[in-house]
Every structure is written in structure tokens, then in C-alpha cells.
């Protein structure tokens, strides 16, 4: 329940524009007190929402009219210039209603006003609420209001060998890649993304995908999904022995065209073909969505667009959907409403988060995600990776840092931090650069053994 001090702060702050509903286990009296403390907030009032800085009209956000995709696949079209915007009301956050929001400036520098369809969250209320989905309540750890909803076990998906190395200009020998993968598996990581079956013309670093898969064919103890951008890549991956694949979509039209050379709708049709082939071959598919918070070209990405793509991937049969903050601009204040929108159309236990640490926000975003019931986190050993669209980007969140934080929270991962650090040291020595993991850097100079911390 909100304290009197918090209520006084609400009254002092003012500028509360309305309320939205909360469908979670909050203290009813606290919620009523919070609502009553805001001047001018009446029982049935619902604030009009708009994004004031982009210059986009309401028609650009919602639009009108439907369209059907080819081959009997129906994708809603809503009159947007991008051709795929959806009715925001379908993906709006149920859990955020009855919570009062401030007009504020978003973390990406845009002036935001909470709208009835795209939630803009004031992250200050997070600690009073339980976001955990009913389907994972039995697996959450005990604790106070802030940490009580965190899962007891978190699965870490290691993406270093693929996402981490793909941007390296100097070709890493296959032997080194295989050695890195084996060291990561020995640390207890349950999933290690091994490589990508994409054209070597586009990603020369991963041109040895077939050789890597052959070298790890008999390695046990982990799953080795591989990225497949199209049906041709899927067929090549399966022929090379891949037992699990991943596909890559975007919530940003501009990023989709620059990254995979097609529109969002075209990519969804392409992946539909992959999903049919995967179902026939009994191969699980993991779906990635990039730019879930911000795009280097378009700026802010509405949560409704992320939810739209996520639902399409889920309907295709993706067993897990990883939500990626590609340029690392997200904060809990922008990540929470995005997750809320997606969780309305995809079960929380089918979701993963993938954060880049460009602005040093990755761990805080992961913590906020855990509070909402997310139990799968992507990370990269030694913080390998980067983003060519963000100057000074430091790449993916480091696996060592994630494991260290989860250990401190009492969350089980079955990952040996010391062995992950050895793997990070191994690849960093080959790349002739220091680790981007703050944990690895600190512990490398510490007199205490990692097991004592």
C-alpha cells in the first residue's frame, strides 16, 4: 500500500492527468487512496492520449481498414503509411489501468502523454505492484514487495558466439569459435546460440556455420539454436544438424528494410514459410523482435507495434519470443509498458528479453522484466557485440554481469560464474581487447575468489 509520504508527494507533484486500470494484486485500499489523492481524477475519467512530438496524427497510429496477406494469411492493415498499424485498443495494457500517470519526457527525449492505447509508465509505482503472471506464480521466489515476484529460476540464453561475434571485422577462426562454445557449455549455460545460416556476403564472420555445427555435433549439455533468415537458410541449417532455429523480425519498418531488406509484412510472410517447414521437421523456432523500444531511424517505437509482431510470431508457432532493445535506449519506464502490451497477446512464459547496454540500463531493465514474470534472459559473454547504429554502443549485456546480479538476488541459474569468466577471458585474449563485463573486470583484480562473493 502506498505510504502517506508517497501520497503527499503525489499531491505536491500534481500534473496527474487521469487514471488507468490495474489488473494485478495491488492493495485495494492503497489504490483507492492513490486515486483519491490526485486532484481532478474522477471515477470514470479516462485521459485522452497522444504522442505530441512526432507530428504523427491519430490516423498514423491507428488508421482504418483491413487488408489480407497472400496465401490465405490475413494480416490487419490500418491505413498507416507503413501499412501494418493495428488497433491500439487490442494491445493496450490491461494491467496499467487505474494507475495515474504524469505527463513526462520519455527516456529517448520524446515528450509523451499517456494515451488510452499506448501506455506510458511512471516507473515510480513499480514496487507496489505484482506483475507476475498466474502461470508462473508457483515458480516465484519469496521476498518483499519489490523482489517477491522474481522467478526462482532464470534461463540464460548465451548469444555471444552468434550475436556477439557477427560484427567482428577480423574473422575469428572456427577452432576458436568452437572452443568458446564448449567453454560456455561447461559453465552450465543451457542454451548457446551457435551461429547463423545467413549469406556470407552479408555476414562474412559466420560463413563457417556448417563447420561450426559439425564440430559441436556431439557436444552435450546445451541446446544450440541457429539463426535462419529465410527458408533457404532453414534448410541449410537442418542439413547441417541444427535441432532448433531462430528467426529475426523487427518492430520498426525502417530497421526491417535496412537489416533484412524487406518490410515487416514481407518478413512475416517469409517466416510463415519457415514455420511450416519447421513444423513438418519437428524443429522448434525461436523468434526475435528487434527495436522493441527505439529505432535508430524512426525513434520511439509504440508498444502496440511490438505486440502486433509478437502475436504474429506466436501464432506461427514460435516456442519463445525474444524482445530486443537493439540500440540499448530503453529504461524501465519504457520497457514496462512494452512488456505489458506484449503480455496481453503472448503468454509471459513464452517471452525472453534481450538488452544492449549502450546507456548502462540493461541490468535495470532485466530486473524490471523479472518483476513482471519474465524468466528467460539473453546475454553475451564478456559483453560481446555492438550496434553499428549507436555511437559508443557497448553491445549486449554481459553474461557475467547477469549471473552476478541473479546470484545476488538468490535466483537459480545453474551457471558457474567462474567458468563463464574463463570463457570471456579466452575470447577477449583472442580479440585482443578487454572484457566489457564490469563483474569480470572487478573480480579479475579482487583478492576474494568468485565463489566467496
CA distances from 341 to 34, 89, 292, 345 (A): 23, 10, 11, 7
124 secondary structure, DSSP code? G
d(CA 316, CA 271): 8
Query: Closest Cα partner for 180 from 356, 425, 386?
Result: 425
Strand, coil or helix: what is 220?
Answer: coil
Mean pLDDT of the chain: 76
Q: Which residue is catalytic, options 121, 291, 295, 387?
A: 387
125-170 pLDDT per residue, tens: 233 334 334 444 556 555 556 676 899 999 999 999 999 999 898 9
Q: What is the pLDDT of residue 54?
A: 37
Q: Is pLDDT of 85 > 50?
A: no
328 vs 117, more confident: 328
What are 267-304's pLDDT values in tens digits? 999 999 999 999 999 999 999 999 999 998 899 999 99
For range 252-267, the mean pLDDT: 87
Mean pLDDT of 113-131: 37
Q: What is the CA radius of gyration of the chain?
A: 22
- Provide the pLDDT for residue 336: 98
Spatial separation of the C-alpha atoms in residues 44 and 441, rounded to whole Å: 54
Q: If pLDDT is split at 50, 70 and 90, which confidence band does 48 have?
A: very low
Q: Which three cell numbers stand for residue 191?
A: 542454451
- Tens digit of pLDDT for each residue in 312-363? 999 999 999 999 999 999 999 999 999 999 999 999 999 999 999 999 999 9
SS3 of 28, please?
A: helix
* 387 tagged catalytic: yes
Largest Cα separation within the chain, whole Å, is 67
| Domain boundaries defined on the chain | 4-131, 155-452
In eight-state DSSP terms, residue 134 is G
Q: How far apart are CA 401 and CA 76, in angstroms?
A: 41
Query: pLDDT at residue 79 above 90?
Result: no
Whose cell is 488510452? That residue is 116
CATH code linked to domain 155-452:
3.20.20.70
256 band by pLDDT with thresholds 50, 70 and 90: confident
Amino acid at each position: 500500500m502506498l505510504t502517506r509520504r508517497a501520497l503527499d508527494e503525489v499531491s505536491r507533484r500534481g500534473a496527474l492527468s487521469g487514471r488507468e486500470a490495474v489488473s494485478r494484486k495491488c492493495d485495494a485500499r492503497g489504490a483507492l487512496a492513490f486515486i483519491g489523492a490526485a486532484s481532478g481524477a474522477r471515477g470514470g475519467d479516462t485521459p485522452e492520449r497522444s504522442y505530441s512530438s512526432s507530428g504523427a496524427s491519430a490516423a498514423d497510429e491507428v488508421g482504418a481498414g483491413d487488408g489480407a496477406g497472400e496465401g490465405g494469411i490475413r494480416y490487419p492493415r490500418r491505413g498507416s503509411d507503413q501499412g501494418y498499424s493495428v488497433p491500439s485498443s487490442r494491445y493496450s495494457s490491461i494491467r496499467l489501468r487505474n494507475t495515474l500517470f504524469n505527463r513526462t519526457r520519455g527516456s529517448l527525449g520524446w515528450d509523451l502523454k499517456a494515451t488510452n492505447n499506448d501506455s506510458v509508465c511512471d516507473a515510480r509505482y513499480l514496487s507496489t505492484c505484482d506483475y507476475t503472471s498466474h502461470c508462473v506464480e508457483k515458480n516465484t521466489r519469496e521476498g518483499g514487495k519489490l523482489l517477491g515476484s522474481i522467478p526462482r529460476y532464470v534461463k540464460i540464453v548465451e548469444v555471444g558466439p552468434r550475436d556477439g561475434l557477427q560484427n567482428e571485422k577480423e574473422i575469428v577462426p572456427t577452432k576458436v569459435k568452437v572452443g568458446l562454445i564448449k567453454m560456455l557449455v561447461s559453465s552450465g549455460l543451457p542454451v548457446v546460440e551457435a551461429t547463423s545460416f545467413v549469406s556470407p556476403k552479408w555476414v562474412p564472420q559466420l560463413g563457417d556455420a556448417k563447420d561450426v555445427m559439425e564440430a559441436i555435433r556431439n557436444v552435450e549439455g546445451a541446446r544450440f539454436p541457429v539463426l535462419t533468415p529465410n527458408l533457404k537458410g532453414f534448410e541449410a541449417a537442418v542439413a547441417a544438424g541444427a535441432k532448433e532455429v531462430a528467426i529475426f523480425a523487427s518492430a520498426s519498418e525502417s530497421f526491417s528494410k535496412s537489416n533484412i531488406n524487406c518490410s515487416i509484412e514481407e518478413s512475416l510472410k517469409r517466416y510463415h514459410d519457415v514455420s511450416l517447414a519447421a513444423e513438418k521437421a519437428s524443429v522448434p523456432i525461436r523468434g526475435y523482435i528487434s527495436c522493441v523500444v527505439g529505432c535508430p531511424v524512426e525513434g520511439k517505437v509504440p508498444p502496440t507495434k511490438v505486440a502486433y509482431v509478437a502475436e504474429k510470431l506466436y501464432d506461427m508457432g514460435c516456442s519463445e519470443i525474444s524482445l530486443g532493445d537493439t540500440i540499448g535506449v530503453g529504461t524501465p519506464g519504457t520497457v514496462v509498458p512494452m512488456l505489458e502490451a506484449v503480455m496481453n497477446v503472448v503468454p509471459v512464459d513464452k517471452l525472453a528479453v534481450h538488452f544492449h547496454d549502450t546507456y548502462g540500463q540493461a541490468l535495470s531493465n532485466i530486473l524490471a522484466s523479472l518483476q513482471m514474470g519474465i524468466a528467460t534472459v539473453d546475454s553475451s559473454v564478456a559483453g560481446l557485440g555492438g550496434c553499428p547504429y549507436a555511437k559508443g554502443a557497448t553491445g549486449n549485456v554481459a553474461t557475467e554481469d547477469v549471473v552476478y546480479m541473479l546470484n545476488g538476488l538468490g535466483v537459480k541459474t545453474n551457471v558457474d560464474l567462474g567458468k563463464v569468466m574463463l570463457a570471456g577471458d579466452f575470447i577477449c585474449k583472442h580479440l585482443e581487447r578487454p572484457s566489457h563485463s564490469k563483474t569480470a573486470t572487478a573480480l579479475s583484480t579482487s583478492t576474494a575468489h568468485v565463489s566467496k562473493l
